[in-house]
């Protein structure tokens, strides 16, 4: 959940912590309104564009990590995504760059990225529904939007590498919602932008999402880092330090979907003591989706393969874990609708990355177009 501040005198607005303050004018154009969120590498602020008289979000990077003196993957990738193909159906589902500038503040030299204001992430969106289960019709629409966004990014030679519910955001319907939210916060500091954005049930059915936070993105032919994806969502090839490409994004979406239609976390990799164990994680993959193919193991890190697999490529060591294939694990009645769903998940979650269908092909999956 995003955090908010309205009082410059609060702990979160200490000038030793925050690079800007409310009512400050940035780049002779953007008036700072309120902080929307923050993390280790940046903070995000709502601003009023004094030229266009619209609201925007400014992501201010921490100068400890980047001061604008050298090339920045995120900036280069965002600029490329902004201009590569504006007619592509996935273009509108990628959070692209509106402007960028350098701000010299009390904490140092900041790179600032100007983007569209967004309402809330997919995890918080799921709480609109009973048991946080997103209805199939809405989830199909969201999945189509995500696949279009990935088809666009991948066609641009870009891999997101960090697809997760936190990085899938609901779009604000129109700027009047932001005005209402700011007005509501004058009397209720806990007023929620996401709730106001979808304050009528029918808005839920037409929700529009974008993939955001391209800070860890890589080019297909030049990786920012080899340490990618949240650990529990990590694709087999990344886990075993084999070569990886756009297929890791497809894996992330496939792993994430069951959390929203049945509240299942596909993998956790934890022992009975609650500690993460890579052998347990691999065993879960093997039980639900395995076995691990020789084509993948032959390209993986030799020390990891030797540690976890025998000479025939079988996972070594007894591990108490699931012993159910994907269709049993999901646990849905096997009618045509669910058969189509499982077929799509299989196509996204092949352990060998080359066997996964690309985003464009997945858009033709029957489940995405059937009417519930």
List pLDDT tens digits, range 115-149. 999 999 999 999 999 988 999 999 999 999 999 99
Q: Distance (Å, rounded) from C-alpha 20 to C-alpha 290?
A: 51
**DSSP label at 93?**
G
Show the DSSP H helices in the chain as ranges.
73-83, 122-126, 136-155, 175-187, 193-197, 201-205, 236-239, 247-261, 278-289, 294-297, 302-308, 326-330, 336-348, 359-362
At which residue do the structure tokens 């500690």 appear?
A: 275
Extract the tokens encoding 210: 């974008």
CA distance 197 to 243: 41
pLDDT score for 330: 62
Provide Rg for the chain, Cα atoms: 22
Confidence band (pLDDT; 50, 70, 90) for 13? very low
Q: What average pLDDT does the segment 67-90 reach? A: 85
Of residues 240, 259, 224, 232, the one with CA closest to residue 345: 259
- pLDDT of 372 reads 60
In CATH terms, 119-368 corresponds, of 1.10.510.10, 2.130.10.10, 3.60.10.10, 1.10.540.10, to 1.10.510.10
Q: Which two tokens stand for residue 209?
A: 């999402």
pLDDT in the model for residue 4: 32
| pLDDT score of 170 more than 70 | yes
CA atoms within 13 A on the CB side of 218: 19
Structure tokens at 321: 């874990």
Tens of pLDDT, residues 288-332: 898 999 999 999 999 999 999 999 999 987 666 555 567 665 656
Q: Does residue 265 have a pLDDT over 90?
A: no
Residues 64 and 40: beta-carbon distance below 8 Å: no
pLDDT at 261: 83
CA distance 58 to 78: 14
Proportion of the chain above pLDDT 70, given as a percent? 89
Sorting pLDDT into bands at 50, 70 and 90, what band is 336? Answer: confident
Q: How far is the C-alpha of 99 from the C-alpha of 58, rounded, in Å?
A: 9
Confidence of residue 12 (pLDDT cuts 50, 70, 90): very low
Rounded mean pLDDT, 67-93: 86
Residues of CATH 3.30.200.20 domain(s) within the chain? 11-118
The SS3 assignment for 187 reads: helix
For 171, the token pair is 């779009």
Q: Would you say residue 34 has pLDDT above 90?
A: yes
Share of the chain above pLDDT 90, in %: 71
pLDDT tens per residue across span 216-241 = 999 999 999 999 999 999 999 999 99
- Place 63 in a pLDDT band, splitting at 50, 70 and 90: confident
What are the E-state strand segments in the chain?
Answer: 25-26, 30-38, 42-49, 54-61, 99-105, 108-115, 118-121, 158-159, 168-171, 209-211, 218-219
- The answer on pLDDT for 44 being more than 90 is yes
User: Looking at residue 8, what is its pLDDT?
Assistant: 32
Look up residue 240 and give its two tokens.
Answer: 């075993």
Write out pLDDT tens, residues 339-354: 899 999 999 999 999 9
| Average confidence score pLDDT of the chain | 89
For 11-118, CATH number out of 3.30.200.20, 1.10.10.60, 2.60.320.10, 3.20.20.10 equals: 3.30.200.20
The CA dihedral of 45, 51, 54, 60, to the nearest 10 degrees, is -20
Whether the predicted pLDDT of 67 surpasses 70: no
- What is the arithmetic mean of pLDDT over 23-30? 97
**Ranges for all domains in the chain classified under CATH 1.10.510.10:** 119-368
Lowest mean pLDDT among 39-43, 192-196, 221-225: 39-43
pTM: 0.91
Taking 80 as the threshold, does the pLDDT of residue 10 lie above it? no
């Amino acid at each position: 959940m995003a955090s908010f501040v309205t009082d410059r005198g609060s702990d979160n607005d200490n000038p030793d912590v925050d690079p800007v303050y409310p009512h400050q004018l940035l780049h002779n154009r953007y008036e700072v309104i309120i902080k929307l969120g923050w993390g280790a590498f940046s903070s995000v602020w709502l601003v009023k564009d004094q030229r266009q008289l619209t609201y925007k979000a400014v992501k201010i990077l921490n100068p400890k990590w980047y001061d604008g003196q050298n090339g920045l993957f995120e900036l280069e990738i965002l600029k490329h995504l902004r201009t590569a193909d504006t007619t592509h159906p996935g273009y509108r589902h990628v959070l692209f760059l509106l402007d960028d500038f350098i701000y010299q503040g009390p904490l140092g030299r900041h790179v600032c990225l100007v983007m569209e204001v967004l309402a809330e992430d997919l995890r918080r969106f799921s709480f609109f529904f009973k048991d946080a289960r997103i209805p199939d019709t809405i989830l199909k629409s969201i999945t189509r939007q995500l696949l279009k966004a990935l088809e666009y990014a991948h066609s641009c030679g870009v891999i997101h590498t960090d697809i997760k519910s936190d990085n899938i955001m609901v779009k604000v319907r129109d700027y009047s919602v932001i005005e209402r939210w700011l007005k509501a916060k004058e009397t209720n500091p806990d007023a929620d932008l996401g709730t106001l954005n979808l304050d009528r049930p029918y808005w839920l059915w037409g929700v529009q999402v974008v993939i955001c936070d391209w800070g860890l993105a890589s080019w297909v032919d030049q990786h920012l880092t080899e340490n990618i994806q949240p650990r529990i969502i990590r694709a087999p090839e990344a886990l075993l330090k084999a070569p990886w490409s756009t297929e890791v994004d497809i894996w992330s979406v496939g792993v994430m979907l069951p959390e929203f239609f049945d509240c299942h976390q596909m993998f956790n990799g934890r022992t009975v003591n609650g500690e993460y164990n890579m052998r347990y994680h691999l065993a879960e993959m093997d039980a639900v989706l395995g076995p691990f193919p020789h084509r993948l193991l032959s390209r993986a890190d030799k020390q990891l393969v030797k540690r976890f697999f025998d000479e025939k490529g079988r996972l070594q060591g007894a591990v108490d874990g699931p012993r159910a294939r994907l269709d049993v694990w999901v646990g849905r009645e096997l009618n045509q609708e669910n058969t189509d769903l499982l077929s799509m998940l299989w196509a996204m979650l092949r352990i060998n990355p080359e066997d996964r269908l690309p985003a464009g092909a997945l858009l033709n999956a029957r489940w995405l177009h059937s009417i519930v």
